[in-house]
Structure 1
Amino acid sequence: MSEFKVGDIVVLTAGSMRMAIESVSKGKVSTVWCNEGVIGRDSFDPLLLKKWEHREEEKIKSSRVNASRGYEKKDRRESSRNEKPKGKIGWDGKARDKKFFRKD
């Protein structure tokens, strides 16, 4: 269990918005957060909270840019836009295939 101090940024272990620790007492951690301009306050058991870690976006973006898989998908998307669909287009934007034919 990590030790919390006033000013730490935490989230619930099940996932939540970021909250700042307002006070720490025996068995309870008081937090404060802001959601769409409304300030919220609540107390939680320390086992329900974990410290929020900032992830650097540049590292994440660079791994996506250098991946060859992303370029392959982009090429396929561009080539599919140039081709006209076969038959009528359905609600999902894909061509509808006639699977059953009426016998006259």
Structure 2
Amino acid sequence: MSSDAPVPVSRDAVSGAAVPMPRTAVPLGISDPVEKARAELKAALAAIEVKANVPRRLAVSIDNGVEKARTFSRRNPVAAVAAVVAGAAAVGAAVWAFVRSYSR
């Protein structure tokens, strides 16, 4: 299961154009039962890998969040600065409340 593997391609039924196929899909038109079973096993293992690879899913989610934050800050820089200040104030208040409750 290498990410360097070529992306499988299927043909669109209407236009005949090449359409990239996800790693977790089984190609249509396999008539040999052994090849079909191998393709299904490969797709199932790829689906398990995609679902169970938490660090990669987390990295993708973080990248998406960073991209959304950058887009938001480009569109509305004043609101982005206000959000950062509000976040910093919330973290500061939470730390202050924790230290205060711990010291009493």
Provide TM-score, normalisation by structure 1: 0.29
Greater Cα radius of gyration, structure 1 or 2: 1
Instruction: Identify, as 1 or 2, the structure richer in helix.
Output: 2
Provide TM-score, normalisation by structure 2: 0.29
Q: Quick one: higher RCO (CA 8 Å, sep 6+), 1 or 2?
A: 1
